[in-house]
Structure formats: C-alpha cells, structure tokens
Structure 1
Amino acid sequence: MKTVKNKTVLITGASSGIGEAFAYELAKKGANLIITARSEDKLKVLASKISKKYNVEVNVFTGDLLKKDTPVKLYNQIKQAGLSVDLLINNAGFGKWVNFLDESIDGYEEMIEININALVKLCYLVLPEMLEKGDCGIINVASTGALQPCPYVATYCASKSFVLNFSEALYGEYYKKGVTITALCPGNTTTGFQAIAKANTKGMSADSSETVAKEAISALLKNKSFKIVGTMNYLQSFLPRLLPRKSVINIVQKMMNDKVNGLKK
C-alpha cells in the first residue's frame, strides 16, 4: 500500500487505546474513517473530535464482535452506507493473565471469537473489493506474545500466534496483487488491556499507543509482512530461535509465574 491519504479505513476496537491512536494518526494523514466498537457514546465523541480537527469523514457503526454475526452485519451496514474499505485494521481483542483453569471456558470461547474468528471473517469480507481496487491493505494486531509459548497467558498468546501466521500467509498470497497485509506485534502498551487482563506489568517498560500506531502504519506503507514494536522486543524475538523450545518455556514460565501468582502470595 502506497498511501493512506483519501483512503477509507475501518478500525475495530476504535473507542480507546491502540484503536483510538490509529484513528487520530490516520486522520492526520488524510484518511477517512469507519470506526467501530461496542460503545456508541465514546465513538461519537471521538468522531466529532477527529472530524473537526482534521476535516475528514468519520462514520460510526457500533457492534459487538463477540457475537458471531457481527462481522457480516457490520460489513453490510458499510455497504448500505455506500462505503468501501481500503484499509482494514483488526485491532479489537482481549486477553487474560491467569492460571489456565482459573478462567471459564466461556471466557476462552469469547477470546477466540474476537481475537481469531471475527478477524478472519472481516478479512474474508473486505479482500475481494480490495483486490479489485488495488493499493489497499490490512493491519492485524497480534502481539509479541505470538512469538513464543506463554504459560499463564496460554490462550491469548496462542490466538495471537494464529493472527501472526494467518496474516503473513495472506501477505504471501496478496502482496503482489495490490493488497499488503501486515501483522503488528506490540509489546506492553499503555492501554486498557492491562486492567481487563488483570496483568501485573509493574517494572515493565511500555510503549505508547501513539508509537504503536505510527510504527504500524509506517510498516504497512513499506510493504512489511510484520512489525515488532520496540528495539528490546525485536531483540527478544530472537530468543526462541536461539534456545531449545523447552528452555524458552521455562524462562517465560518463571517470569509469568512471578507476575500472575506472585500477586497471591
């Protein structure tokens, strides 16, 4: 993808955190927006601020991606409004830092529904038109947790491993056909994720949502298949390649056990 100026961008989970940062950064670059999340009030406030500040079009569609039919309903609403998506940012998602059996199976099903199923459905829905137009793109938000097995964050990190591999596979299929798919792998980021995940990130460095959004857009425009945010995160990504897998598991287990179960001591 060569430019986002005058393009129409669909951002999921746009009401806060990285999604909100994407909205501001893309509007600053001249993109028109379609923002979606569950909170209509937050989306409307955000739309008003962005449209006034950057003089771009901002459309609001609310929807709960935990519901299986939401991606199709959202896509149909977009089409009925006469809009066409040039860039999709699959940002919505959540995780939990927890002993595996301390979370309900319903919670894991919801995590998989939004982190994997909704993301796949939205990619499937927008890709045909993108291929017709060319110069389009998709940014799928994965995580540095996608790069190795993560005890105590097992389902979340496994879902993000899916996102990373899925995105790079699609990149291989479509980047020569005018659609760039970039997997974004941020590390610890200052968002509301930590509160929902009950994540103990004390002592951990964190990137801002704005930094993550800027680096993701830059990577997309450079035709990158993935982007790891942060120099230390990038260096740590080599660890699973250098050590036996069991050693990596033991390292992550010790670190995460201190973060998760250390709170219970």
Structure 2
Amino acid sequence: MVTAFVTGATSGIGACFAHALAAEGHEVVLVARDAARLKTLAAELSARYGSTALALPADLASAEGCALVEERLAASQAGILVNNAGIGIADRFHEASLDLVQRQLDVNVTAVLRLTRVAVAGMVARGEGAVVNVSSVAGFLSGYEATYSAGKNWVTSFSEGVAAEVRGDGVRVMALCPGFTRTEFHDRAGVRRPGPGFLWLSPERVVAEALADLRRGKVVSVPSLRYKAFVLALDLLPRAAVRAIGQRLARERL
C-alpha cells in the first residue's frame, strides 16, 4: 500500500486529492493548519473508503512545520506527495504587509522545495514514486498578482527541472496548473472571483484530469481544453499583451 501525503488538504483541490487517493486504496496523510478539520476529514475518509487516513497538523510557513512534515515523509517512505497548500494576497505588493508576503513565499515556494526534496530523495532510492506540485495558470501570466504569479511560475519551472533530473529513476514529477477553480481560495484571500462563470472548474474535475495526466507521464498538466487553449495563446502573444491580460484580471478581483 502506497502512502500519499496531501498538503492543504482540508478543502478544495487538496480535499479532492485526498478523496481520490483514499478511494484508490492508498494510506493518506493529511497536512494543514486546522487540526479539527483535518481530523474530521481523516475520519470521513476512513469510514467511506476503509483506508487509513491520518491528520498531521502543521504550519508550512514555519521551518518547524516543514521539518515535521519532512520527518514524516522520510519515515513513511511516501510514494505520492501532493504539494497543494497555497496562499493568495488581496493587496497590491507594496501595500501588503511584509510578514504576509513572506508567509506566502514560505508556503507557495519554500515548502514546495523542501518537501519535494525529501520526497524525491526517498523515491529515487526506492525507484518509484510521484510528486504533484499544484501550480496555476496564473504562473503563465504576469500582473495578475505580482508575488502569486511569480511563485507559481517558479513552481512550474521547478517541477519541470526536477522531472528532467529524475526521468530515468522511476519517479514522476508533475506541475498541475489549473485555471479558476471553485474552492475557498479566493474567499480566504479576501478577493472577488474574476471572469465569467464558464471559466470556473470544479475541484473534482481538476483532480480527475490531473491524476489521468500523471498516469500518462505528463510533466505539466493544464485541466480542460479551454485553459489548454488559453495557455497556448499566452505563449504566442507578446509579453505586453500577456501583462495586460493579467492586469485586467487583477482589477476584476479587487
């Protein structure tokens, strides 16, 4: 039985990954800050799927929280890691508090680096395993939210780089780049949901397409044809036009 770790597991994409992996019979370790919600979800998964689900409360913005998860990753010989935890910020870069901006960097970038490193080291030694780093279509933009877009751009590029390094070691690494998804993310960030309704995906669809792409060996997964076309169009547009699109979406969310 493979042990799967899912960060940011209490809702949205993370919770859907937890359900999907538990339904496949994996032992699931759920990571987030909210201990009560984690325990509730763990009990639900165990009761519904008959698989083992464990709650691991940890704040990935702190070195101590990352170290706790790293220790469990190594001890459990994790076969799957889903780095889903993330933070958005409502304020513009120069208006947001430095503490909040640093916290976002620590969760969205540093924790992904640290947990991926520990997980991949064990997976390479065993000759198997998979890491899914949840990035975003926003990573292909600039001007949407300066620090968020930059961080997600890093996650995608980092995942591609690690995937290339371990290509012959039996380990898969994939960046998942969803577009707008109906989760608690925007509410927590204190921003409106931009764009028309047809652009919004369900987290269940995002996860189903992500796991299918992972099985196919894809390195970058962009769920839905509409967002695949959007990303392709961004690659063809001048950078000034890409910035303009990001800025327009940013205005709609405030």
Q: Do Structure 1 and Structure 2 share a fold, with TM-score over 0.5?
A: yes
Amino acid at match of 1:174: V
1:57 maps to which residue?
Answer: 52
Flag the 1:188–1:171 CA change in 2: closer, same or farther, 3 A: same
Amino acid at match of 1:21: C
Which of 194, 201, 206 is the aligned partner of 2:200?
206
**Separation in 1, partners of 2:251, 2:109:** 26
Partners of 2:133 and 2:175 within 8 A in 1: yes
2:150 maps to which residue?
Answer: 158
**Separation in 1, partners of 2:178, 2:94:** 26
**Separation in 2, partners of 1:60, 1:239:** 41
Which of 64, 67, 77 is the aligned partner of 1:69?
64
**Separation in 2, partners of 1:139, 1:116:** 14
Deviation, 1:252, is 2.4
Amino acid at match of 1:158: A
Partners of 1:239 and 1:248 within 8 A in 2: no
Q: The residue matched to 1:175 in structure 2 has which SS?
A: coil
Alignment TM-score, normalising by the size of structure 2: 0.94
2:162 maps to which residue?
Answer: 170
Q: Following superposition of structure 1 onto structure 2, how do residues 14-163 of structure 1 map, counting pairs within 5 Å?
A: 14-77=9-72, 83-151=76-144, 153-163=145-155
**Separation in 2, partners of 1:25, 1:77:** 21
Deviation, 1:150, is 2.5
Flag the 1:241–1:56 CA change in 2: closer, same or farther, 3 A: same
Runs of 4+ deviating beyond 6 Å: none
2:232 maps to which residue?
Answer: 238
Flag the 1:55–1:257 CA change in 2: closer, same or farther, 3 A: same
Partners of 2:7 and 2:32 within 8 A in 1: yes
1:248 maps to which residue?
Answer: 242
What residue ranges of structure 1 are gaps of 5+ in the alignment? Answer: 1-5, 261-265
**Separation in 1, partners of 2:39, 2:157:** 34
Flag the 1:115–1:46 CA change in 2: closer, same or farther, 3 A: same
**Separation in 1, partners of 2:65, 2:192:** 32
Aligned residues: 252
Query: Identity rate of aligned residues, in percent?
Result: 30
1:3 maps to which residue?
Answer: none
Partners of 1:142 and 1:183 within 8 A in 2: yes
**Separation in 2, partners of 1:224, 1:258:** 32
Alignment TM-score, normalising by the size of structure 1: 0.90
Partners of 1:146 and 1:157 within 8 A in 2: yes
Amino acid at match of 2:187: A
Partners of 2:73 and 2:119 within 8 A in 1: no
Cα RMSD, aligned residues only: 1.5
